[in-house]
Amino acid sequence: GSQFFINTVHNKYLDYFTGGASKHPVFAKVIKGESVIRSIENTRTNHNDAPLTPVKVISAKLKSSSSSGGSKEKSQKVSKNPQAEFKTTAGSFKIEFYADVMPYTSAAIIDLVKTGFYDGLHFHRVIKDFMIQFGCPHSKNPNSGRAGTGGPDPNTEFKGLDGKSHRRLGDGCIKDEHKGKISNKPFTLSMANTGSRNSGGSQFFINTVHNKYLDYFTGGASKHPVFAHVVEGKDVVRNIGNTRTDSGDKPLKPIRVIKASMV
Q: What is the pLDDT of residues 131-143, one digit of tens each?
A: 999 999 999 999 9
Q: Is 242 exposed, middle or buried (0-12, 13-18, 19+ CB in 10 A)?
A: middle
Q: Is 156 exposed, middle or buried (0-12, 13-18, 19+ CB in 10 A)?
A: middle
Q: How confident is the model at residue 233 (pLDDT cuts 50, 70, 90)?
A: very high
Backbone angles phi, psi at 218, to 5 degrees: -90, -10
Contacts of 226 (CB under 8 A, 6+ apart): 98, 102, 180, 182, 183, 184, 185, 188, 189, 190, 215
Q: Is 52 exposed, middle or buried (0-12, 13-18, 19+ CB in 10 A)?
A: exposed
Strand partners, 207: 131
Measured from the Cβ of residue 256, the count of other Cβ atoms closer than 10 Å reads 16
Instruction: Determine the average pLDDT of the residues in 28-38.
Output: 82
Rounded to an integer, what distance in angstroms lies between the CA atom of residue 261 and that of residue 217? Answer: 31
Task: Please check whether residue 91 is in contact with residue 233, taking contact to mean a CB–CB distance below 8 angstroms.
Answer: yes
- Counting residues of the chain whose pLDDT is more than 70, the rounded percentage is 93
51-60, 204-213, 249-258: which range is least confident on average? 51-60
**Residue 64 confidence (pLDDT):** 56
Q: How confident is the model at residue 72 (pLDDT cuts 50, 70, 90)?
A: very low
Residue 143 DSSP one-character state: T
Instruction: Determine the average pLDDT of the residues in 24-38.
Output: 84
Task: Please check whether residue 243 is in contact with residue 253, taking contact to mean a CB–CB distance below 8 angstroms.
Answer: yes
70-74, 152-156, 160-164, 208-212: which range is least confident on average? 70-74
